[in-house]
Amino acid sequence: MDEEAIIFIVFTAIIPVIVIANMSTFGPTIYAYIAIILAGLTLAAILMISFADFIVFPTVTSIFGITFQPFNNYEITKHQEAVIKNVKGIYYATGFLTANLFAFEFKEEQVEENLNDKMISSLGNWEKATMSIDFPFKFHIISEGLDVQSIRDELEGKRSYQEFNLSRALQSGSANDVIITDIQRKISIIQAQLDRISQGERPIGAIMYFETTAVGVSKKAALDVLTEQIKRLQIAFTGMDMQMLRVVGRELYTLYKFNFMLPYDNINITTYFDTQK
């Protein structure tokens, strides 16, 4: 949980807390209970919106049948799962899938001993997967170089902490081999990342996603084909060690806008997405 989320939750949770603290001011017992129930539901809603807005928001828009027109001639469906464009009576539905290709994600990658093997085999796997697809799709990587010094400082801090843990475990004598091996493994991962920076590789923040478009003579037809295409993409790229989740809600809108304008400032782009952090 990031600091921003905590701030938002704490501030908004004040309101239900005030309600619970002053429940007697709402009248006889029955009204006090109603007030507590409403406050409890609001607290639950606050937590749901903070941690699972991709479930809450599409549910709300689906129940009320709310659709959005982000720009002329485009529509975001009520389930918040696709952007539809109508061209001469033909509907084009575009959907997105997250695709964290971990081997290329520096910041959070787990440096493994067989990383080179993984990178070598990834080319073949990619080509095989691509060849099995017979519909249009795009694979996007939005990357930005991160500040080398701040990442180095962060990694050195983490390494020092793990080294402290290791020395404490060795001194205590009560730690078993499994714990010691685990700490040593963590240190070697951090060290490998530091070595890569020392060799001149720049740490990057990246967002990776698939985009696919389907056509149909009606919105439903286009959406049905789109869902099928997304399933086929998920199957085809199974061998790539990717986390492929269908994007819904606000992230769909953000990704769709990336087709016309990308982030242009030097900010951490991964903060745009909860699913890719």
Partner 1 sequence: MFLFLGLLGASLFILIVDVSVSTVILAPPIKIIILLIALFLDTLAISSRFYSYLIFPMFKQMKRHVVLSKEDPYWIASSLDSILHKEGDNYIATVYIKIPLYRSETEMNVDEKLEFATQTSRLLGQSRMPIRFTHEMRIINKDAYIETIKNMIADAENEESKLLEQNSTASELAKVRGKLSMWRGMMDVLNSSSSLELLTYASVSATGSQEFEAIGIVQQRAREVISAVSAIFGITSSIVTGNDLLKFVEPEYMIPYSTISEKIIKTINV
Residues in 219-258 at the binding interface with partner 1, rule: CB under 8 A: 250, 253, 257-258
Identify which range of 70-78, 152-160, 168-176, 178-186 contacts partner 1 by CB under 8 A: 70-78
Residues 251 and 241: their CA atoms lie apart, in Å, by 22
Q: How far is CA 29 from the centre of its chain?
A: 44
Among 20, 25, 164, 220, indicate the residue that binds partner 1 (CB under 8 A): 25
Residues 6 or more apart in contact with residue 45 via CB below 8 angstroms? 56
Instruction: Let me know: does 244 contact 237? Beta carbons within 8 Å.
Output: yes
Is 202 a binding residue for partner 1 by CB under 8 A? The answer is yes
Is 271 a binding residue for partner 1 by CB under 8 A? The answer is no
Residues 56 and 15: their CA atoms lie apart, in Å, by 20
Instruction: Let me know: does 261 contact 255? Beta carbons within 8 Å.
Output: no
Among 6, 119, 170, 235, indicate the residue that binds partner 1 (CB under 8 A): 119
Among 19, 187, 244, 252, indicate the residue that binds partner 1 (CB under 8 A): 19
Identify which range of 47-55, 157-165, 167-175, 183-191 contacts partner 1 by CB under 8 A: 47-55
Among 57, 192, 234, 275, indicate the residue that binds partner 1 (CB under 8 A): 57
At closest approach, how far in Å is the CB of 177 from partner 1? 34
Identify which range of 1-9, 154-162, 173-181, 185-193 contacts partner 1 by CB under 8 A: 1-9
Indicate the length of the chain as a whole number. 277
Among 110, 150, 238, 266, indicate the residue that binds partner 1 (CB under 8 A): 266
- The amino acid that residue 211 corresponds to is E
Residues 269 and 277: their CA atoms lie apart, in Å, by 10
At closest approach, how far in Å is the CB of 153 from partner 1? 17
Residues 6 or more apart in contact with residue 87 via CB below 8 angstroms? 73
Residues 248 and 263: their CA atoms lie apart, in Å, by 20
Among 51, 59, 102, 122, indicate the residue that binds partner 1 (CB under 8 A): 122
